[in-house]
Amino acid sequence: MRLSSLLRSAAAIVVAAGPLFAAGPPTRLEVTNSLDRPRAGETVAVPSGTAPGLAAAELAKVAVVDEATGKPVLSQAVDSDGDGAHDVLVFQADFAAGETKKFVLKPGERAAYRKGDFRVYGRFARERYDDFAWENDKVAHRMYGPALETWQAEPLTSSTVDVWCKRTARLVVNDWYMVDDYHRDTGDGADFYSAGKSRGAGGSGVWKDGRLFVARNFRHSRVLAAGPIRLVFELTYEAWDAGGAKVSEVKRVTLDAGSRFNRFESFYSVDGGSPVAHAPGLKKATGAAIRVEKAAGTIRSWEPIKGDNGNLGLALVVEPASLAEVVEAEGNVLAVGKPTASRPAVHWAGSAWDRAGEVKNVEEWDREIAGFTERLRSPLKVEVSKP
């Protein structure tokens, strides 16, 4: 089965089942896990307009209740594209193998968020030479802004994706930047990974005439959705030369609570020349064990971290139908897509540090990647149930 679900912004699909409710009453949903294995903390997504009371302007006030227990479920209205209107309601739940759960959506009844509800976070960090840093309860990353290009101590021009090795569910971005001592592990992890000018953990460029062409550091950023369940932000890259074609990019990144995998969407604009090929990749570090599963659209790396700080697993996932070839170039392993003018180009990238204690070896990392791709192939089925 193809990974067509990679092109969806949600981890679920919605199928209308019969007439929708009149305005006012709660909406009832039936959500089914079609897999023969459990799904923990899976994201359910309900597009705006699914039923009366779920219009874009009302979505942020909708409360979600587990029908079986009567308990409220944390939810979030998300503006996925930054147009100022909420387009999807997301919440998370655990599902046993083959299980169907029922939920009630009540317009106008959502409780206010508390600080402890937030499991995702991201922001522009001007105090750290214009980083954009983001995280959830599993992983943390950063990408580089304009001030880093001219920093006297260590200038760096790169559109890479950097990784922070964290071993706490706590959100650490603000704490680590505040103390400015995050290259030393004091209990929560540290910035041990060196992405440099490579593609790091899922950075991308474009492939043309057998060469990789990459952007400089991002120039602008904006947060579209700030949690507590889903983080969405965009980075804008100024035009760069790609073998005679001028390419610019808006990169949209989505990370859900509990997930090790970011969803990257690249909206390219090409001025002159033929369409370019999207080329995301992973850094091929010294001593890294690389595994390529082209039929599944996955590339995996498992590498030792310098200073006897354990091992880091990286993974890249693309839709196999869009994959032209896997190549090594400039210290990276790249999943080169087929040249196309379609927008956006999509890939997923994730990481796991063995010192965090959840993914302890490369075999477990392989199982984690396989489970992720399986869930992409079989999204939750969400139906509006009959009143």
The DSSP line for 349-366 is EEEEEGGGSSS-SHHHHH
H helix or E strand, kind and range, residue 178: helix 173-179
368 close to 285: Cβ distance less than 8 angstroms: no
Say whether both 201 and 63 belong to one domain.
no
DSSP state letter for 275: P
Say whether both 194 and 329 belong to one domain.
yes
Residue 362 covered by a domain:
no
Say whether both 70 and 135 belong to one domain.
no
Residue 361 covered by a domain:
no
- Indicate the SS3 state at residue 127: helix
pTM of the full structure: 0.93
365 close to 177: Cβ distance less than 8 angstroms: no
Say whether both 71 and 181 belong to one domain.
no
- Indicate the SS3 state at residue 54: coil
Say whether both 58 and 184 belong to one domain.
no
Residue 371 covered by a domain:
no
Structure tokens at 43: 């994201």
317 close to 303: Cβ distance less than 8 angstroms: no
Per-residue pLDDT of the chain (387 residues; tens, 9 = 90+): 444 444 344 444 444 333 333 345 799 999 999 999 999 999 999 999 988 878 999 999 999 999 999 999 999 999 999 999 999 999 999 999 999 999 999 999 999 999 999 999 999 999 999 999 999 999 999 999 999 999 998 999 999 999 999 999 999 999 999 999 999 999 999 999 999 999 999 999 999 999 999 999 999 999 999 999 999 999 999 999 999 899 999 999 999 999 999 999 999 999 977 788 999 999 999 999 999 999 999 999 999 999 999 999 999 999 999 999 999 999 999 999 999 888 899 999 999 999 999 999 999 999 999 999 999 999 999 999 865
CATH number at residue 134: 2.70.98
Say whether both 153 and 43 belong to one domain.
no
Q: Find the domain containing 348 and state its range.
A: 117-356
- E-strand ranges in 171-317 read 189-190, 201-208, 211-213, 220-226, 230-242, 245-256, 261-271, 277-283, 289-293, 298-304, 311-317
232 close to 252: Cβ distance less than 8 angstroms: yes
Residue 368 covered by a domain:
no
Residue 244 covered by a domain:
yes
Cα within 13 Å of Cα(371), Cβ side: 17
Total domains in the chain come to 2
Say whether both 93 and 131 belong to one domain.
no
Residue 363 covered by a domain:
no
